[in-house]
Amino acid sequence: MNELTIVMYHYVRNIKNSQYQNIKGLETDGFRRQLDYLSGNFNIIKAEDLIDSLKNGVQLPEKSCLLTFDDGYKDHLTFVLPELIKRKLQGSFFPPVKPVMEREMLDVNRIHFILACTNDFSKLLANVDDLCIDHGIVPSDLISFKYQYYIPSRYDTADVMYVKHLLQHVLPEEIRNSISSKLFQIHINRAELDFADELYLSFDEIKKLVESGMYVGSHGYRHLWLDKESYYSQSLEIDSSLEFLKDVGARTDDWIMCYPYGAYNENTIAILKERNCAVGLTTKVGLAQVSGSTSLELPRFDTNDYPQ
Ligand SMILES: [Zn+2]
């Protein structure tokens, strides 16, 4: 049994001096300090070391740590890659394919920026409810949504969690897409295509990560909650992301899946096993115990769990 600390990052940017000062992410200064802290206190391993330990029983070093970066943000090339290279460290990157190839905002990112530009959350909630009614959602459903989803999480208030749940998975995909687009126009007021170009890595930039010795793995095609998708739809998501990995030059023999939103079910696990996936990364919080020939449900820590 090997113990492994896996740290999860999303946005890493100059937040204080940016236009979106309330975006939830890690400041570049904090990132530098955290890398110094982690490399001083842990052995930062490569994704290949983890795969090797599973496939060939190689023991991981004491206090092993893997750095993971979700969602394919341009931040990862601009701020993360130079810091990793400077320290001779490897990061593991998990870009969803759709925003990279189609330059379209994911709902989840629209919501982040909408929330970052909002001061009045009760007004945002009222806006969301009004737009739901406009899109044919009946008031009794809204009451039941409030009952089920108006609950605070580890990092977010009940208002924020309610908006996130509704716009990330509760409403039908077409409706939540339309509502988040409308809210994006109201709150951010910028062409989404330009915004997506600035936000997400391009195909060539992801190739550059691979060529720089970084690990790139799957985060699905459309960044869906896989546990809410059929077996067939999950297979499509996973297979199209593997095609993409092949195209950017990343490995697809023994590979790593990072579940969008940490969501998966028995079907996901069955599909991954069929496709020789070695590792699955969740958003459960904790120290990973690596054993057996595959580890498809590894927990991670958040960057906020360590000094910054
Ligand atoms: Zn994600």
pLDDT tens string 111-170 = 999 999 998 888 899 999 999 999 999 999 999 999 999 999 988 899 999 999 999 889
pTM, two decimal places: 0.93
Distance 49 CA to ligand 1 centre (A): 23
**Sequential DSSP letters for the chain:** -EEEEEEEE--EE--TTSS-TT--SEEHHHHHHHHHHHHHHSEEPPHHHHHHHHHH-PPPPTTEEEEEEES-BTHIIIIIHHHHHHTT---EEE--HHHHHH----HHHHHHHHHHT-S-HHHHHHHHHHHHHHTT--HHHHHHHHHHH----SSS-HHHHHHHHIIIIIS-HHHHHHHHHHHHHHHT-S-HHHHHHHHB--HHHHHHHHHTT-EE-B--SS---GGGS-HHHHHHHHHHHHHHHHHHT---SSEEEE-GGG---HHHHHHHHHTTEEEEEEEEES-EEE-SS-EEEEEEEEGGGS--
C-alpha of residue 96 to centroid of ligand 1, in Å: 7
Query: Which has the minimum average pLDDT: 4-8, 116-120, 277-281?
Result: 116-120
Q: How far is CA 139 from CA 132, 142, 211, in A?
A: 9, 5, 52
* 234 pLDDT above the threshold of 80: yes
80 pLDDT more than 80: yes
| Cα 219 to averaged position of ligand 1 atoms, centre (Å) | 7
Instruction: Report the separation in Å between the CA atom of 223 and the middle of ligand 1, taken as the mean of its atom positions.
Output: 6
Tell me: pLDDT of 294 over 90.
no
Residues, CB-to-ion distance under 5 Å, ligand 1: 70-71, 260
Q: What is the pLDDT of residues 197-221, one digit of tens each?
A: 999 999 999 999 999 999 999 999 9
Kindly tell me if the per-residue pLDDT of 277 is higher than 90.
yes
* CA 70 to ligand 1 center in whole angstroms: 5
Top pLDDT among 288 and 291 is at 288
Please report the pLDDT score of residue 4 as a whole number.
Answer: 97
User: Is pLDDT at 1 greater than 80 in this prediction?
Assistant: no
Interval between CA 261 and ligand 1 midpoint (Å): 6
How many Å lie between the centroid of ligand 1 and the Cα of residue 260? 4
* 84-98 pLDDT tens trace: 999 999 999 999 999
Please tell me the predicted confidence (pLDDT) of residue 155: 82
The residues near 40 (Cβ < 8 Å, ≥ 6 apart) are none
The alpha carbon of 220 and the centre of ligand 1 are apart by a number of angstroms equal to 9
Distance of alpha carbon 288 from its chain centroid, rounded? 18
